[in-house]
């Protein structure tokens, strides 16, 4: 592939709701531009961008994919991103790497949650935006209804530049409002110009809206518009281009990725209306002293490149996708990783088109490529010239919200699971993995049930580890509610030395998280040198409570009295005596179970706050308050037992259609209601017998 200057590069992420046809649109663009010789279909599993076995099996995108092609003298780097919320990592990666976001909307279902999320993220990251209303060939497609939804949701910047002429629910032709021309498409998706249809006042209104939007981008154009003069085609194109760059204009086009209708006009618009990498590719970074510095997108500047995606494959090896913000990256150059401070030895530099690699000697500013075997780098790292060490801001990925426990099918595979998960986390920063020493479980976390299902499939396919899933065990605690004074006496006679230890200990509740040991012995009834043995004996005991075997907390033990034998007493004997006192005292001290309580902050649309408060009450939660959040959602804060949160992520997504999200962090332990104790004790007993 030939090299392009930054001014001739457009980096475009395709985003939108799941099922709106993003991958099909990427396929149509590649086919129309001549980058592929066939039009692949997601149902057939032969598209350029959905090449992962999981994507072919599920017929949905699970990760981002890069596909570059040329249109005229311009290179367009397409980044196809997943639409399903479970695979949001790819969506965040793609939008972060591009200067422009092409938001795909279904002409049938209209503006969805994924549309809103794509627009919000593009706004937040300062990206230029364009809408494409796809599936115009589908039954019940309604462009003008979708256009009204877009204007209602996203405001006056929404500006149609390609509109359909519909008769009897079928598109007769498409009108390009910039060129003021109409086109029909044949069965192969090839356009032919036709006479402009009579749209009465609608066409005049649409053209006037474009002129008004263009006029607001430049003072000279505004004066021309105000004086009643018509704009030239070049003025309209420049005005739209400047408006898109500034965010004042969000163009809307339409067509069908399946029939290729409108795809040629979309390609022209990507080139004409979206800012190039040179115009919009400059980024703010921090230098070695933590000071902000602007990095210009030019070949002449020192190297600064951002790694936005990592693929870890046990057979192919590690592949790091990056965007060169400034300078030029070649295989001979040894850049510095600003996070680690270490030099990174470069592997093979390649351009990626889906899964296909094409070798290249270097990659210029504004362009996107990949490098093999970059051992020390991870997603979010900055590679830079040692003479100018800078760091770009890392992407704030969504946090994993659903956890499941690993059920090992082949004994001894725990180590393989941990190794495989470490590699998968390199690929997908939204995955979590934890070895919980208390519950003896390995925990996998993700953004939803499908996400975790894909993780399990990848562990088997890539790393040969077959696992099942189980519920996450809750780490309960035990405590006491009464003060008791008990004796523990260990006496054993055998040939030679016997064993003798005798203690009186007072057990009482306290606020400490563990065991508080004190001694209050008078007259040397228990020699001081045996005090540590008594404490050690109790420390061993509190690891297992008397109700269900959970660790004992909030326990104060005071050694009051006892007796010893000058020959038979030993540290071991006093440890045993302390253990006997513990076993005798705990059942008398009104033992109880404690359950972990978490602090929940759940962000939902205003219309769902009532549902959420009701949901928290169902889960034995306490609502602490409500506050509006920055993203237009309401934040409902509460405290909920961790045992009630198993399926909360799924319920929240269903209730809010994917708009809601939450954070949940351990807060403290509280008494478990008495009516629930028996079930917890029974479950612990079954598990103990099974083990």
287 shares its domain with 201? no
Identify the band that residue 272 occupies on the pLDDT scale cut at 50, 70 and 90: very high
CA distances from 71 to 94, 236, 367 (A): 21, 21, 15
Rounded-to-10 torsion of CA 645, 647, 650, 656: -50
How high is the pLDDT of residue 2? Answer: 86
Q: How many percent of the chain have pLDDT more than 90?
A: 79
What phi and psi, each to the nearest 5 degrees, are found at residue 566? -60, -25
Same domain, 206 and 115: yes
Average confidence (pLDDT) over 151-170: 93
Could you give the CA distance from residue 610 to residue 629 in angstroms, rounded to a whole number? 17
Mean predicted confidence (pLDDT) in 48-74: 94
What DSSP element (H or E) covers 176?
strand 170-176
**Distances in whole angstroms, Cα of residue 272 to Cα of each of 93, 242, 244, 245, 266:** 25, 10, 10, 11, 10
The answer to whether 103 touches 110, Cβ cutoff 8 Å, is: no
Domain end point (choices 589, 607, 626): 589
Query: Which of 466, 489, 507 is where one domain is finished?
Result: 466
Could you tell me if 152 and 206 lie in one domain? yes
Residue 125 domain-assigned (yes or no): yes
- Specify the number of domains making up the chain: 5
- Among 364, 392, 420, the domain boundary falls at 392
The residue assigned the tokens 């010893």 is 564
The answer to whether position 95 is within a domain reads yes
Residue 481: count other Cβ atoms within 10 Å of its Cβ: 12
The answer to whether residues 323 and 347 belong to one domain is yes
Sign for the CA dihedral angle at 196, 197, 201, 205 comes to negative
Q: What is the pLDDT of residue 512?
A: 85
Residue 303 confidence (pLDDT): 96
Yes or no: say if 446 and 456 are a contact pair by the CB < 8 Å rule. no
In a domain, 116, yes or no: yes
pLDDT tens digits for range 364-408: 999 999 999 888 899 999 999 999 999 999 999 999 989 999 999
**Residues facing residue 369 across a β-bridge:** 322
Residue 672 sits in the same domain as residue 556: no
Q: What pLDDT shows up at residue 229?
A: 84
User: What would the mean pLDDT of 524-535 be, rounded to a whole number?
Assistant: 88
Same domain, yes or no, for 273 and 157?
yes
For residues 270 and 346, membership in a common domain is answered with: no
Q: What is the DSSP string of 199-259?
A: -THHHHHHHHHHHHHHHTT-HHHHHHHHTTPPPPHHHHHHHHHHHHHHTS-EEEEE--TTT
Q: Nearest CA to 239 among 209, 206, 213, 270?
A: 213
Phi-psi region of 688 (alpha: psi -120 to 50; beta: other; left: phi over 0): alpha
CATH number of the domain to which 672 belongs = 3.30.70.240
Location of structure tokens 């680690």: 340
Going by pLDDT thresholds of 50, 70 and 90, the confidence category of residue 127 is very high
- Do 256 and 299 reside in the same domain of the chain? no
The whole-angstrom separation of Cα 41 and Cα 369 is 25
Average pLDDT, the chain: 92
pLDDT in tens, 226-236: 888 888 889 99
* Residue 275 pLDDT > 80: yes
Range of the domain at 331: 283-392
d(CA 527, CA 1): 85
Same domain, 58 and 96: yes
Question: Would you tell me the crossing angle of helices 233-246 and 201-215 to the nearest 10 degrees?
Answer: 60
Q: Residue 570: what pLDDT?
A: 85
Q: What token pair was written down for 162? A: 């390609």
pLDDT score recorded for residue 106 = 96
Q: Which residues contact 379 (CB under 8 A, 6 or more apart)?
A: 93, 307, 308, 309, 310, 395, 426, 429
Domain assignment present for residue 225? The answer is: no
Q: What is the per-residue pLDDT for 496?
A: 63
What is each CA distance from 222 to 158, 204, 241, in whole angstroms? Answer: 19, 19, 16
What does the pLDDT average to over 534-552? 93
Establish if 232 belongs to a structural domain: no
In this prediction, residue 13 carries a pLDDT of 98
Q: Judge if 461 and 482 occupy the same domain.
A: no
Q: Is the pLDDT of residue 242 over 90?
A: yes
Domain of 432, CATH number, reads: 3.30.70.870
Inside any domain, residue 221 = no
The CATH number of whichever domain residue 523 belongs to comes to 3.30.230.10
pLDDT at 159 over 80: yes
pLDDT band of residue 200 (cuts 50, 70, 90) is low
Residue 394 DSSP symbol: P
- Find residue 594's DSSP bridge partners: 477, 671
3 state SS of 16 = strand
Q: How confident is the model at residue 198 (pLDDT cuts 50, 70, 90)?
A: confident
Q: What is the dihedral of CA 344, 350, 351, 352, to 10 degrees?
A: -90
Q: Give the model's confidence band at 674: pLDDT under 50 very low, under 70 low, under 90 confident, else very high.
A: very high
What CA–CA distances, in Å, run from 445 to 85, 269, 406, 424, 496?
Answer: 15, 41, 10, 12, 58
230 is a domain residue = no
In this model, does residue 452 exceed pLDDT 70?
yes
Asked, for residue 222, whether it belongs to a domain, the answer is: no
454 and 502 together in one domain: no
pLDDT of residue 495: 61
Based on the fold, state whether residues 500 and 535 are members of the same structural domain: yes
User: Which single residue is written with the structure tokens 């980096």?
Assistant: 11
End-to-end CA distance of the chain: 60
């Amino acid at each position: 592939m030939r090299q392009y200057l930054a001014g001739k590069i457009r980096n475009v992420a395709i985003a939108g709701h799941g099922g709106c046809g993003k991958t099909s649109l990427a396929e149509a663009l590649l086919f129309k531009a001549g980058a592929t010789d066939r039009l692949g279909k997601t149902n057939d599993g032969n598209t350029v961008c959905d090449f992962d076995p999981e994507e072919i099996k599920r017929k949905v995108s699970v990760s981002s994919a890069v596909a570059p092609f040329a249109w005229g003298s311009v290179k367009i780097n397409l980044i196809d991103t997943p639409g399903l919320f479970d695979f949001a990592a790819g969506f965040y990666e793609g939008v972060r790497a591009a200067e422009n976001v092409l938001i795909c909307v279904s002409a049938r279902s209209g503006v969805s949650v994924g549309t809103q999320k794509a627009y919000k993220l593009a706004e937040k990251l300062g990206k230029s935006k364009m809408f494409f209303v796809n599936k115009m060939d589908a039954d019940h497609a309604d462009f003008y209804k979708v256009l009204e939804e877009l204007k209602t949701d996203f405001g006056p910047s929404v500006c149609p530049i390609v509109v359909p002429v519909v008769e009897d629910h079928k598109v007769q032709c498409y009108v390009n409002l910039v060129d003021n021309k109409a086109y029909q498409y044949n069965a192969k998706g090839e356009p032919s110009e036709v006479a402009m249809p009579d749209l009465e006042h609608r066409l005049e209104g649409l053209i006037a809206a474009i002129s008004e939007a263009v006029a607001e981008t430049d003072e000279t154009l505004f004066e021309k518009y105000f004086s009643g003069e018509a704009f030239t085609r070049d003025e309209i194109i420049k005005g739209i281009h400047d408006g898109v760059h500034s965010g004042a204009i969000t163009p809307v086009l339409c067509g069908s990725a399946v029939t290729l209708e409108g795809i040629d006009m979309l390609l022209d618009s990507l080139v004409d209306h979206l800012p190039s990498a040179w115009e919009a590719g400059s980024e703010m970074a921090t230098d070695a002293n933590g000071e902000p510095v602007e990095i210009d997108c030019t070949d002449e500047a020192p190297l600064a490149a951002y790694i936005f995606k990592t693929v870890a494959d046990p057979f192919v090896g590690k592949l790091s996708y990056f965007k060169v913000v400034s300078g030029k990256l070649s295989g001979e150059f040894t850049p510095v990783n600003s996070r680690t401070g270490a030099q990174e030895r470069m592997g093979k530099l390649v351009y990626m088109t889906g899964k296909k690699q094409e070798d290249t000697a270097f990659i210029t500013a504004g362009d996107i490529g990949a490098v093999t075997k970059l051992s020390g780098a991870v997603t979010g790292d900055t590679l830079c010239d040692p003479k100018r060490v800078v760091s770009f801001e890392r992407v704030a990925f969504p946090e994993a919200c659903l956890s499941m426990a690993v059920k090992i099918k082949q004994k001894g595979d725990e180590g393989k699971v941990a190794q495989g998960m470490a590699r998968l986390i390199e690929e997908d920063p939204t995955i979590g993995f934890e070895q919980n020493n208390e519950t003896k479980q390995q925990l996998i976390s993700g953004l939803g049930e499908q996400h975790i299902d894909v993780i399990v499939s990848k562990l088997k396919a890539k790393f040969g580890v077959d696992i099942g899933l189980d519920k996450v065990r809750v780490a309960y605690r035990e405590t006491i509610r009464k003060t008791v004074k008990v004796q523990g006496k260990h006496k054993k006679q055998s040939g030679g030395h016997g064993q003798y230890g005798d203690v009186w200990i007072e057990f009482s509740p306290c606020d400490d998280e563990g065991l508080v040991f004190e001694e209050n012995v008078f007259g040397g009834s228990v020699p001081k040198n045996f005090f540590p043995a008594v404490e050690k004996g109790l420390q061993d005991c509190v690891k297992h409570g008397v109700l269900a075997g959970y660790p004992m907390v909030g326990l104060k033990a005071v050694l009051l009295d006892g007796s010893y034998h000058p020959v038979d007493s030993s540290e071991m004997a006093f440890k045993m005596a302390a253990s006997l006192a513990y076993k005798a005292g705990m059942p008398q001290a009104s033992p109880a179970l404690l359950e972990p309580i978490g602090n929940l902050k759940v962000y939902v649309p205003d219309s769902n706050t009532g549902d959420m408060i009701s949901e928290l009450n169902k889960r034995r939660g306490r609502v602490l308050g409500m506050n509006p959040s920055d993203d237009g959602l309401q934040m409902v804060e509460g405290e909920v037992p961790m045992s009630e949160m198993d399926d909360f992520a799924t319920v929240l997504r269903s209730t809010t259609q994917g708009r809601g999200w939450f954070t949940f962090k351990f807060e403290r332990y509280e008494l478990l209601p008495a009516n629930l104790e028996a079930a917890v004790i029974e479950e612990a007993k079954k598990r103990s017998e099974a083990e």
